[in-house]
C-alpha cells in the first residue's frame, strides 16, 4: 500500500557543529519566541534557524522570514555544515527519554514516503487541519525545497519483523549518539544495503501508514507536490523527490510509543449556554464527586478509564468523574463512542455552541495548570481526558473516520535536525 523509499539525506557535520544534541530542536509548532531565541543561543547552527525562519523578528511575515532562511540553508551546505549522504539510505533512530521515573526507548525509521490523496488509503489521517498552518509550511518548502522536520507516523508490526532488522542494525556503530540536558538521548544508524532496503520497502507495500503528528506538514507537502505538477507535467515522475515527504515511522507495538491525554478547557461561555452544557453532561454521563490534587485526579481518570468510557470535569466548585451511560450511546456513533473527546465535542458542546465552539474551547497538555486555573476561576470548566487508546485509534482511523483535533498527544515530539530531505531532483 504505502510507497516507502530510502533517500540521500543531508546531515550535520559533527566536525563543524560539535555536540549533535545542541543542534536539534522540537517541531515548529512546539516552539514559542522564547524557546526559539534560547535554541539560537545554544548553537549557531541549531536547526531552529531553518525550522522557524531566520533573522527577522516575529512581527515579520513567515514568507519573508523563509526567504532569508533559504540563503542560510545554501550557505550551510556550501560551507560543509550540512553534508549529503553519497547513497540512498534509510535511517534508524533510537530515542530514549525519561518519563515517570523510567527511561523509555522508542525506535523509528526515517524514510521518504510517497505523497498520495487520503482517498487512496495508503496514508491515513486522524484529524482535520487548518489552512493557515498548512500555508506556513508550504512557504518554508518553497524557500528551501526541503523537509526539515519529519512527520511522525505509525504502522502495525505485530510480528516484530522490522524490529528484528532494527535490533541487528543497532548492533553496529551509530553515526552519532548524543544526550541533551534533559536526559533525552538520540542515536542514528544508516541502512545503505540495497538488500535490506528492499525488504523494508516490501514490508510497507502491504500495509497503510497512520499519521500520528504532522498533518499540516503532510498536507503542505501534498500542496507543494501538486504545485510542481501544475508547473510541469513531467514533475509527476515517480522517482522525483517532491513526490515524497520525510517521515519517522514507529510501530504501534513499540513499548516506547507513548500517548498522553490532551485536556479540554472552556471559557467565556454565556451563562445560559453553560447551564445547558451542564444539563447535557448530566443526561449523557453518570457523575460522582471526587477530590484530591491534580495528579490524583488524573491518576483516577487514567486508571479507571482503562476499562470505562469516562473523563473528569473540574470547575471552581470541585471535580466530578463522568462515566458515559451505556444507554446514551447511539449505534450511529460507531467506533467514535470510544473517544470521550468526540462525545464531549460533538454530543455536548457543538449542539449548544454550534460553529462558535472553538471560540470557547481550548486544549492543554498540563493537567496541573488546567486544574489550577479551573479551581481558581480563571477557566469556567476543564475536562481531564485519559490517553487515547491505540487500539481504538487504529479502529477509528483505519475505518476512515477522524478524531476531534488534539485527541492525541504522542510524547515526546520527535527531534528535528537528525536528517534533512531535499525536494529537488531525484530521491
pLDDT tens for residues 223-276?
999 999 999 999 999 999 999 999 999 999 999 999 999 999 999 999 999 999
Domain that holds residue 340: 262-386
The answer to whether position 207 is within a domain reads: yes
Q: Are residues 128 and 196 in the same domain?
A: yes
Q: Are residues 351 and 243 in the same domain?
A: no
Q: Partners of 109 in the beta sheet? A: 92, 249
Q: Are residues 107 and 193 in the same domain?
A: yes
Q: Are residues 200 and 327 in the same domain?
A: no
The answer to whether position 397 is within a domain reads: no
Q: How far apart are CA 367 and CA 302, in angstroms?
A: 12
Q: Domain count of the chain?
A: 2
Q: Quick one: what percent of the chain has pLDDT higher than 70? A: 98
- Residue 382 · residue 73 · CB < 8 Å: no
The answer to whether position 159 is within a domain reads: yes
The answer to whether position 346 is within a domain reads: yes
Quote the cell numbers at residue 254.
513499540
- Indicate whether 395 pLDDT > 50: yes
Could you tell me the CA-to-CA distances from 74 to 20, 77, 78, 215, 246 in Å, in that order?
20, 5, 6, 27, 20
Q: Which band of pLDDT confidence, cut at 50, 70 and 90, is reported for residue 68?
A: confident
Q: Are residues 199 and 302 in the same domain?
A: no
The answer to whether position 415 is within a domain reads: yes
Query: What pLDDT, on a 0 to 100 scale, did the predictor assign at position 147?
Result: 98
Cα dihedral 214, 219, 221, 225, rounded to 10, equals: 160
Query: What pLDDT, on a 0 to 100 scale, did the predictor assign at position 30?
Result: 82
Query: What pLDDT, on a 0 to 100 scale, did the predictor assign at position 50?
Result: 93
- Residue 261 · residue 367 · CB < 8 Å: yes
Q: Are residues 14 and 155 in the same domain?
A: yes
Q: Are residues 174 and 266 in the same domain?
A: no
CATH of the domain at 313: 3.30.1760
- Residue 260 · residue 387 · CB < 8 Å: yes
Q: Are residues 244 and 306 in the same domain?
A: no
Query: What pLDDT, on a 0 to 100 scale, did the predictor assign at position 59?
Result: 54
Q: How far apart are CA 15 and CA 85, in angstroms?
A: 16
Lowest mean pLDDT, pick from 47-56, 95-104, 253-262, 359-368: 47-56
Query: What pLDDT, on a 0 to 100 scale, did the predictor assign at position 28?
Result: 77
Q: What integer is the mean pLDDT of 129-158?
A: 94
Q: Are residues 254 and 274 in the same domain?
A: no
For 325-371, the pLDDT digits (tens) are 999 999 999 999 999 999 999 999 999 999 999 999 999 999 999 99
- Indicate whether 60 pLDDT > 70: no
The answer to whether position 401 is within a domain reads: no
Q: Are residues 132 and 53 in the same domain?
A: yes
Q: What integer is the mean pLDDT of 390-402?
A: 96
Compute the residue count for the chain.
427
Q: Are residues 140 and 251 in the same domain?
A: yes
The answer to whether position 234 is within a domain reads: yes
Q: Are residues 197 and 273 in the same domain?
A: no
Q: What integer is the mean pLDDT of 396-411?
A: 96
Name the nearest CA neighbour of 398 among 333, 344, 336.
336
Amino acid at each position: 500500500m504505502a510507497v516507502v523509499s530510502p533517500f540521500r539525506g543531508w546531515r550535520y557535520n559533527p566536525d563543524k557543529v560539535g555536540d549533535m544534541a545542541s543542534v536539534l530542536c522540537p517541531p515548529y509548532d512546539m516552539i514559542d519566541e522564547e524557546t526559539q531565541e534560547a535554541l539560537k543561543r545554544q548553537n549557531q547552527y541549531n536547526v531552529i534557524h531553518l525550522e522557524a525562519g531566520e533573522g527577522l523578528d516575529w512581527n515579520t511575515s513567515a514568507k519573508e522570514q523563509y526567504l532569508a532562511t533559504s540563503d542560510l540553508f545554501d550557505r550551510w551546505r556550501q560551507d560543509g555544515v550540512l553534508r549529503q549522504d553519497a547513497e540512498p539510505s534509510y535511517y534508524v533512530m533510537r530515542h530514549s527519554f525519561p518519563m515517570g521515573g523510567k527511561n523509555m526507548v522508542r525506535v523509528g525509521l526515517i524514510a521518504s514516503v510517497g505523497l498520495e490523496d487520503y482517498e487512496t488509503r495508503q496514508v491515513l489521517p486522524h484529524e482535520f487541519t487548518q489552512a493557515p498552518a498548512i500555508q506556513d509550511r508550504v512557504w518554508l518548502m518553497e524557500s528551501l525545497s526541503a523537509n526539515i522536520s519529519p512527520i511522525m507516523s505509525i504502522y502495525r508490526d505485530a510480528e516484530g519483523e522490522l524490529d528484528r532488522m532494527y535490533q541487528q542494525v543497532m548492533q553496529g556503530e551509530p553515526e552519532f549518539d548524543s544526550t541533551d540536558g534533559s536526559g533525552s538521548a538520540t542515536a542514528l544508524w544508516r541502512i545503505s544495503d540495497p538488500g535490506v532496503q528492499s525488504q523494508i520497502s516490501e514490508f510497507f507495500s502491504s500495509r497503510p501508514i497512520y499519521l500520528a503528528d504532522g498533518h499540516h506538514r503532510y498536507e503542505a507537502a501534498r500542496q507543494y507536490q501538486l504545485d510542481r505538477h501544475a508547473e510541469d507535467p513531467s514533475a509527476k515522475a515517480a522517482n522525483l523527490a517532491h513526490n515524497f515527504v520525510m517521515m519517522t515511522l514507529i510501530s504501534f507495538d513499540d513499548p516506547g510509543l507513548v500517548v498522553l491525554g490532551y485536556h479540554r478547557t472552556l471559557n467565556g461561555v454565556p451563562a445560559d449556554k453553560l447551564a445547558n452544557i451542564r444539563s447535557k453532561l448530566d443526561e449523557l454521563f453518570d457523575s460522582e464527586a471526587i477530590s484530591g490534587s491534580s495528579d490524583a485526579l488524573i491518576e483516577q481518570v487514567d486508571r479507571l478509564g482503562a476499562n470505562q468510557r469516562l473523563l473528569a470535569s473540574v470547575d471552581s466548585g470541585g471535580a466530578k468523574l463522568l462515566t458515559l451511560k451505556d444507554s446514551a450511546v447511539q449505534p450511529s456513533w460507531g467506533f467514535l463512542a470510544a473517544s470521550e473527546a468526540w462525545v464531549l465535542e460533538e454530543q455536548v458542546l457543538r449542539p449548544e455552541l454550534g460553529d462558535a465552539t472553538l471560540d470557547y474551547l481550548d486544549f492543554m497538555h498540563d493537567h496541573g495548570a488546567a486544574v489550577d486555573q479551573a479551581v481558581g476561576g480563571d477557566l469556567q470548566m476543564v475536562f481531564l481526558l485519559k490517553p487515547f487508546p491505540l487500539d481504538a485509534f487504529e479502529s477509528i482511523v483505519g475505518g476512515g473516520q477522524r478524531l476531534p483535533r488534539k485527541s492525541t498527544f504522542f510524547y515526546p515530539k520527535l527531534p528535528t535536525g537528525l536528517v534533512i530531505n531535499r525536494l529537488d531532483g531525484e530521491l
